[in-house]
Chain A
Amino acid sequence: MAQQIALMDEKSRTDFWQRELSKCIKCFGCRDVCPVWIYDGAELEDAAWTKPGEIPPAVPLFQIIRAYRVADLCINCGMCEETCPMHIPLRAIHQLMRRQPPESVFEIIPGLDAETKKRLVQAVRKQPKTKRKKSAAKGEGKK
């Protein structure tokens, strides 16, 4: 799948992801099973980024956020794709990003406007909150 996506021209790739990501039912499975996701909700649960209660959640922003957030930590385990009830080929995103800089996600999944890209890059480059789960948060200083 990664190979096919890589060979698409920008228009086809945009259409491809538009179609695939429209299947998303916002179960948060791709985030919840991710072994390297260390952030506390972050933009995925922030109404300023994606509107709560909407299905599919902002296409393609929602999935770009997730992929970009884990870009430099991803171990290509493929769990995100394996747990996706709608069979969205998420593993391919990370296979294509593997030897690329994190910002390559904007090429792999085209269609995000320049302003949002800039905002996202800035948000992610700021030191993220990393308290994640309750058990992990306990005992740590609260800010």
Chain B
Amino acid sequence: MNSDFVLTVCPFCGCGCQFYLQVLDGAVTEVLPCKTDEISEGKPCIKGRNAAAFINHPDRLKTPLIKRNGKFDPISWDEALELVSKQLIDIKRKNGADSIGVLSSAKCTNEENFLMMKFARAVIGTNNIDHCARLCHASTVVGLAKAFGSGAMTNSIPEIEGSDCIFVIGSNTIEQHPLIASRVLRAKEKGSKLIVADPRCTPIVQFADVYLQHEPGTDVCLLNGIMNLILSWDLADKDFIAQRTESFEELANKVKEYPPEKVCEITGVERAALEKAARIYGEAQRASILYAMGITQHTTGVDNVICCANLAMLTGNVGRESTGVNPLRGQNNVQGACDMGALPNVYSGYQSVTDEAARAKFEKAWGVKLPDKAGLTVTEMTDAALNGSLKAMYIMGENPMLSDPDINHVKKALSSLDFLVVQDIFLSETAQLAHVVLPGCSFAEKEGTFTGTDRRVQRVRKAIEPIGDSKPDWLIISELAKKMGSKGFDYKSAEEIMDEIARLTPSYAGISYQRLDNGEVLAWPCPSKEHPGTRFLHKDVFVRGKGRFFAVDYKEPAELPDKEYPFILTTGRLMFQYHTGTMTRRIPALERELPTGFVEINTEDAKRLSIAQGEKVKVKSRRGEIEIRAFITDGIRPGVVFIPFHFAECAANALTARNIDPEAKIPELKVCAVKVSKGSKHG
């Protein structure tokens, strides 16, 4: 009997908890908490504790598949790679490199994301590469880069415990980032104040000193209102503003236009609560803002993010321990996938593709000419597929058929492609539409690194051999690249890829497997082998020099309720499932807790529509219609309904709209108009 314990990183959320996989005779038996891990301290959440349960699931893809007459047949790796290579080369020859789009994966390692972006740019020759960050924190990357010069969480997770005011806005922290919520509650025990702003009364609200239940999409108005009060009470940090920032007058003049009367009317928040929140945040010594999709997934996503940055700078709460603007990233490696340049406009380390010096550096390293204009985003790729300008897509570890807005539209778009390759560990809703499916392997079967939400780079370690004939995604990409005749893909290990990342990416220059394996905790920027990593950003000087205030006006969401569609639909996630459920719906302990979705509706609304608890109802928007059970609660504003997007059988994204933020191109998944009506009689 062979037994081993392999230290690795949880594959679910962005907290970045480490734990051990217990291996017995080549199979993972269970997860064992790791007490020396700084994030989880040996106390993982339910998803972490059950993270091993999907690895050996019988549904795992074990061979490459090809679709013939609507059915998938297994084929060999050689045939599959030959076919994919030939198709991609043909399509590129006929229609140009920009007729091909690539989606990388926030579930895969940094090494794999780096390689995928190298593949798109150096092998195919297009900047059409993106991933699901477009749907979650694209507005953060744009907004915080404009204000601070760096679009990442400013402070680290353990620091949250030392804050004396925590402002949670648009984040269901207890359910989505439990190990961050744990810090929030500990800070509270030590006397910190907690402000929560959310249209939905999520579990963290019960611990709040003040709760602002604002109307979805009115975040700019709310935050401008808070800043208005802070300025009129003279609580701004004048020294910080004078020394560290610019364009303050612009902001000051703008927020004057947001007096409490106006703000309370638009947001629906009580004046006393607004004042209390402004007072607490304004008077705090070390205030920390935590936000997530409630801020970002709007047509005003960038504006919302900028307001958070404005608020923090106004009170001098950036660049010090236990303060900052902290976007909580959803996926285990969505920070890393962004860092690695799996985005249409930047190489790794956010080096712009339009910057000639950066491009020349990558051209020299890879020995090829690289495209010089930014590529298409996720949302633009589906449109391009539908209008025929995009002919082929290569999707790794993503499930747009459930995660993207308006999935009827996505289905049409993906179905109209000449060629679709999907690389995944399960036959997801998206993989079912593919011409060729390539079996990648799970986090337990490969080496690599994940970058957690607080920029912490951690080692993912191989516990078992790949299941069936599946292969690590980095190996598949390099074999395909070689098949397509490209040089520079002869990697013998994931570590060699990390060495290339370090050579080409200033913020990762000091990161190596050797240092990580020695137990160093390295958060980027880590510019040299001697550098200890960076716990919090913008100390003494912002990445862009001075912090920049922007005056932002409140704009209404793109689709508001009307007579026909009288409710606002807002979407999100729940504790016991993860994203599109590809992994979690195959974990019995989680599926038992939450086997299907529901629509949350306010008690008064339900009464008016004579809907009973648990009754099946129809929810319809201009894009689609679903049947789903009603969950009646006082925890949601009247006129607003909530549906989790995990479930294919009642998919929230059949209803959502494709309205996007003009800069970040992030869809407004948090607001669209729907109608709710009683379903079939025997519901």
Contacts and interface: CB of A to CB of B under 8 A. Distances in A.
Do A and B form a real pair?
Answer: yes
Interface of A: 22-23, 25-29, 32-33, 45, 52-53, 55-56, 82-87
Q: Top 7 A-B pairs ranked by shortest CB distance? A: A85-B43, A27-B46, A53-B594, A53-B593, A52-B593, A27-B45, A85-B182
Main secondary structure of the interface of B (DSSP, over half): helix
A28 B574 contact: no
A85 B592 contact: no
Nearest to B48: A27
B175 interface: yes
A82 B35 CA distance: 9
Contacts of B594: 52-53
A25 B45 contact: yes
Contacts of A29: 33, 43-44, 49
Contacts of A55: 174-175, 203, 575
Contacts of B203: 25, 55-56
B630 to A, nearest CB: 15
B628 interface: no
Interface string B578-590: 0000000000010
B49 A87 contact: no
Nearest to B594: A53
Contacts of A45: 592
6 contacts: A25-B45, A25-B181, A27-B44, A29-B43, A56-B203, A85-B178
B318 interface: no
A37 to B, nearest CB: 14
Given A22-B206, A32-B49, A83 B42 contact: yes
A87 B185 contact: yes
A95 B95 CA distance: 73
A83 B49 CA distance: 11
Interface residues of B, number: 29
Interface in B557-606: 574-576, 589, 592-595
B44 A85 contact: yes
Contacts of B574: 53
A55 B589 CA distance: 15
B634 to A, nearest CB: 15
A55 B174 CA distance: 9
Nearest to A85: B43
B511 to A, nearest CB: 28
A55 to B, nearest CB: 5
Interface in B454-500: none
B46 A28 contact: yes
B40 interface: yes
- Which among B33, B175, B179, B594 has the greatest number of chain A C-beta atoms within 10 A? B33
Contacts of A32: 49
Given A55-B175, A56-B203, A87-B185, A28 B43 contact: no
Contact of A85 (B45, B175, B576, B589): B45
Interface in B159-205: 174-175, 178-179, 181-182, 185-186, 189, 203
Contacts of A56: 203
Contacts of A53: 574-576, 593-594
Given A26-B593, A28-B589, A52-B592, A83 B33 contact: yes
A6 B43 CA distance: 27
A82 B43 CA distance: 7
B186 to A, nearest CB: 6
Contacts of A82: 35, 42-43
B381 to A, nearest CB: 35
A70 to B, nearest CB: 19
Contacts of B46: 25-28
Contact of B185 (A23, A26, A33): A23
Nearest to B182: A85
Contact of A87 (B40, B186, B575): B186
A55 B594 CA distance: 11
B175 to A, nearest CB: 7
A69 B179 CA distance: 27
Contacts of B49: 27-29, 32
A25 B174 contact: yes
A83 B43 contact: yes
B39 to A, nearest CB: 10
Contacts of B575: 25-26, 53, 55
B593 A85 contact: no
B40 A85 contact: yes
Given A27-B49, A28-B46, A87-B186, 13 more contacts: A23-B185, A25-B175, A27-B46, A32-B49, A53-B574, A53-B594, A55-B174, A55-B175, A55-B203, A82-B35, A82-B42, A85-B178, A85-B179
Contact of B178 (A25, A33, A52): A25
Contacts of B576: 53
Interface string B33-66: 1010000101111100100000000000000000
Contacts of A83: 33, 42-43
A33 B186 CA distance: 22
Contacts of A85: 40, 43-45, 178-179, 182
B315 to A, nearest CB: 29
